[in-house]
């Protein structure tokens, strides 16, 4: 039972354009949503997060949007740069537990 789903395994975007990575979830007990970035042979690194009481959080080129009614999360990267090429995981923390539930990842390729 995949509670956090990233339905696009890969995405290619031209440098300078917007990258939009999507994530859907099923569990209404999630209270924080996170995005991580992973380069080959390295562990994931934290990118940005959003509380379930907000609908937008912005950090430089990265913005996360949360649509609670649709149980949908998206990460926007503007403008996209070749160094953004990586696998992006969305994750959610479960209220009153210590768990994080991760999606399967989307591989982003930014073309120069």
Residues that bind other proteins (CB under 8 A): 2, 4, 6, 31-32, 34, 36, 41-46, 49, 51, 89, 91, 93, 97-105
Q: Cβ closer to other proteins: 72 or 99? A: 99
Q: Cβ closer to other proteins: 2 or 14? A: 2
Q: How many residues does the chain have?
A: 112
With DSSP H G I counted as helix, E B as strand and the rest as coil, what are the percentages for the chain, rounded to 5?
A: 5, 55, 40
Kindly state the smallest distance separating residue 27's Cβ from other proteins, in Å: 13
Q: Cβ closer to other proteins: 2 or 67? A: 2
């Amino acid at each position: 039972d995949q509670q956090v789903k990233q339905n696009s395994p890969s995405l290619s975007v031209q440098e300078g354009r917007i990258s939009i990575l999507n994530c859907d979830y099923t569990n209404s007990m999630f209270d924080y949503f996170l995005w991580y970035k992973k380069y080959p042979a390295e562990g994931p690194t934290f990118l940005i997060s959003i509380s379930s009481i907000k609908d937008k959080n912005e950090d430089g080129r990265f913005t996360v949007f949360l649509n609670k009614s649709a149980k949908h999360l998206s990460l926007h990267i503007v403008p996209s740069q070749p160094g953004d090429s990586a696998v992006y995981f969305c994750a959610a923390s479960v209220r009153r537990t210590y768990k994080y539930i991760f999606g399967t990842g989307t591989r982003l390729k930014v073309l120069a």
